[in-house]
C-alpha cells in the first residue's frame, strides 16, 4: 500500500493506519507513506525550495519516486495506491502512468475527496484558513489545537503526525510555524481537484472511494456508483482526517479491498470467467 497525504500534512498521517495494516495482515502487506515536496521531512536538493505544488509536478514527483524505489517494474510488488484529499488526486492521475510503465497496480483508493464539493468549497477556503493560528508556543499547543478543534479526533495519531507538519523558527513570538502554510498553496487548489471524478472513473484498475459520513457524491460519481464502477464505503464518526480518526476501521476496509483485488491481479479467475 502506497499512501499519499493531503495538503499541509505528511506521511505520518498514515502512521497509526500503517500499524493496523501490519498487525492485521501479520506483515504480509507493506505500507509506504511518502512526504510530498514542501511537506514533512522532504527538502529540496536545489539551493532554493521549488514552490510549485501543481498537480502535474506532484504526479511527476510521485512517479519518479516509484521508479527510484522500484527501478524494475517486473520485480516490483503489486501496488495499491491510497491518497487522502489532495493525495487522492495525485494517486488517481499517477495510476495510468505507472500502468503504462508496466507496474502492476492492484487498485486506487481515494479518501474523503469529491471533485464537486471540493471545487465548490474553494471560494470559502481563505475564510476557513483565517481561523487557523499563524503559530504556536509549543508542539503540545499544536497538538491540542488539532484535537480541541476536532481537526484530528484521535489524540494518539495527532501526537505522532503533528510534529512533522510544523517547524521551529528563531522568532521569539510563536516559534512553531506551519511547515506548509496552506494559504501559499492557493494557486494550485483548482488543479488538484478539477477533472478528478472523470479520471477516477476511467482508472483501469479497481476503484475505492472512502468518505467521512458528512461527504456527498457529485453527479458524475453518483452515476458511476449506480453503474457499479467503484466501491463506496462511508465511515461514520470521523472527520476529514479519516486515516487518523479511525485507523482501525480504515485498515479493515483497505485490507478487504486489497485481498479481493490482489487475488484478481495475480491470476485467480473472477466469477463468470471461463
Task: Say yes or no to pLDDT of 274 above 50.
Answer: no
Half-sphere exposure of 32 (CA within 13 A, CB side): 13
In this prediction, residue 266 has a pLDDT band, given cuts at 50, 70 and 90, of low
Query: Backbone dihedral region of 38: left (phi > 0), alpha (psi from -120 to 50 degrees) or beta?
Result: left
Strand 79-84 to 105-111 pairing:
parallel
* Dihedral angle of Cα 57, 254, 29, 82, to the nearest 10 degrees: 0
In this prediction, residue 186 has a pLDDT band, given cuts at 50, 70 and 90, of very high
| pLDDT confidence of residue 239 | 94
Average pLDDT of span 11-25: 97
Residues 231 and 182: beta-carbon distance below 8 Å: no
Q: What is the CA radius of gyration of the chain?
A: 19
In this prediction, residue 268 has a pLDDT band, given cuts at 50, 70 and 90, of very low
Give pLDDT tens digits for 197-256: 999 999 999 999 999 986 689 999 999 999 999 999 999 999 999 999 999 999 999 999
| pLDDT confidence of residue 206 | 97
Residues 6+ apart with CB under 8 A from 236: 213
Task: Say yes or no to pLDDT of 53 above 70.
Answer: yes
**Lowest model confidence (mean pLDDT) among 173-177, 221-225, 262-266:** 262-266
Average pLDDT of span 106-119: 95
Looking at every residue in the chain, the average pLDDT score rounds to: 92
| pLDDT confidence of residue 140 | 97
Helix (H) or strand (E) holding 264: helix 247-265
Name the residue with higher pLDDT: 15 or 267. 15
- 188 closest CA partner among 86, 65, 46, 38: 86
- 190 closest CA partner among 123, 130, 128: 123
Set of cell numbers at residue 33: 507513506
Domains of the chain by start residue, with CATH: 2-265 (3.40.50.1820)
| pLDDT confidence of residue 271 | 45
Give pLDDT tens digits for 21-39: 999 999 999 999 999 999 9
**Lowest model confidence (mean pLDDT) among 44-48, 78-82, 108-112, 124-128:** 44-48
| pLDDT confidence of residue 94 | 98
Name the residue with higher pLDDT: 20 or 214. 20
d(CA 147, CA 224) in angstroms, rounded, equals 35
Task: Name the residues annotated as catalytic.
Answer: 85, 112, 240
Task: Say yes or no to pLDDT of 95 above 80.
Answer: yes
**String of b and e for 15-39 (b: at least 16 CB within 10 Å)?**
bbbbebbeebbeeebebbbbbbbbb
- 35 closest CA partner among 54, 55, 7: 7
pTM of model > 0.75: yes
- 58 closest CA partner among 84, 93, 24, 33: 93
- 34 closest CA partner among 14, 57, 54: 14
| pLDDT confidence of residue 45 | 81
Amino acid at each position: 500500500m502506497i499512501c499519499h497525504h493531503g495538503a499541509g500534512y505528511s506521511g505520518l498521517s498514515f502512521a497509526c493506519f500503517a500499524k493496523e495494516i501490519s498487525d492485521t495482515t501479520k506483515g504480509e502487506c507493506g505500507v509506504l507513506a511518502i512526504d510530498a515536496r514542501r511537506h514533512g521531512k522532504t527538502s529540496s536538493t536545489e539551493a532554493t525550495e521549488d514552490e510549485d505544488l501543481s498537480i502535474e509536478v506532484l504526479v511527476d514527483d510521485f512517479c519518479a519516486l516509484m521508479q527510484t524505489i522500484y527501478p524494475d517494474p517486473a520485480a516490483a510488488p503489486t501496488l495499491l495506491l491510497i491518497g487522502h484529499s489532495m493525495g487522492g488526486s495525485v494517486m488517481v492521475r499517477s495510476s495510468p502512468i505507472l500502468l503504462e510503465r508496466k507496474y502492476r497496480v492492484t487498485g486506487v483508493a481515494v479518501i474523503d475527496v469529491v471533485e464537486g464539493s471540493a471545487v465548490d468549497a474553494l471560494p470559502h477556503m481563505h475564510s476557513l484558513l483565517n481561523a487557523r493560528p499563524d503559530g504556536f508556543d509549543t508542539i503540545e499547543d499544536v497538538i491540542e489545537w488539532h484535537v480541541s478543534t476536532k481537526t484530528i479526533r484521535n489524540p494518539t495519531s495527532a501526537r505522532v503526525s503533528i510534529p512533522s507538519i510544523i517547524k521551529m523558527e528563531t522568532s521569539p513570538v510563536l516559534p512553531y510555524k506551519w511547515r506548509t502554510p496552506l494559504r501559499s498553496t492557493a494557486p494550485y487548489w483548482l488543479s488538484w481537484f478539477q477533472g478528478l471524478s472523470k479520471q477516477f472513473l476511467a482508472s483501469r484498475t479497481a476503484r475505492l472511494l472512502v468518505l467521512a459520513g458528512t461527504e456527498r457524491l457529485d453527479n458524475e460519481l453518483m452515476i458511476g456508483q449506480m453503474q457499479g464502477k467503484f466501491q463506496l464505503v462511508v465511515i461514520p464518526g470521523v472527520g476529514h482526517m479519516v486515516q487518523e480518526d479511525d485507523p482501525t476501521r480504515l485498515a479493515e476496509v483497505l485490507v478487504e479491498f486489497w485481498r479481493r483485488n490482489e487475488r484478481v491481479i495475480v491470476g485467480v479467475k473472477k466469477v463468470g470467467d471461463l
